[in-house]
Amino acid sequence: MGERKLLTEPSDVKALADRLYQIAFLSRMPESLRREEAWALAHALSDLEQSLRTLLEEHFPRLLLNNAARTDLTDVLLDMGEEFQHILYHLKDASFYSYLTEQDSRPHPKAP
């Protein structure tokens, strides 16, 4: 894989937050929350990028090794679970994605 990480520097996350600040979902929020939510979403996406790269570049290749012992496979699955937990945390933490959680009754961001 080895592709370039997209959100490597704080300036990359800031640029993304500035772009996200313009989306309609955030424009409906009070100004006091709007910037904070844009930053939270940009930070979440940055962390999600890292977790997904870890899954794809480290854990999946380890899982697919033909000579891996059963205990090694269990360790890989547990490591993957930690990444999934991290992903879920960021999805739940970002209000834009709150519609993904069953217990949340807020509408989809595209809803009028």
**pLDDT value, residue 76:** 92
**Hunting for tokens 């993957």 — which residue is that?**
80
Is 99 in contact with 108 (CB distance < 8 Å)? yes
Q: How many angstroms separate the first and last alpha carbons of the chain?
A: 39
Neighbour count for residue 29 (Cβ, 10 Å): 14
Q: Which tokens sit at 67? A: 């000579």
User: Using one digit for the tens of pLDDT, what is the confidence trace for 52-98?
Assistant: 999 999 999 998 887 777 778 889 999 999 999 999 999 888 888 88
Distance of alpha carbon 101 from the chain centroid: 14
Overall pTM > 0.75:
yes
- Residue 29, CA distances (Å) to 12, 25, 26, 35, 38 in order: 24, 7, 5, 10, 11
DSSP reduced 3-state for 58:
helix
Alpha-helical (H) ranges within 28-93 are: 31-54, 60-63, 70-93
Higher pLDDT, 42 or 29: 42
Q: What is the pLDDT of residue 100?
A: 84
pLDDT at 69: 77
- Over residues 31-48, the pLDDT tens digits come to 878 988 999 999 999 999
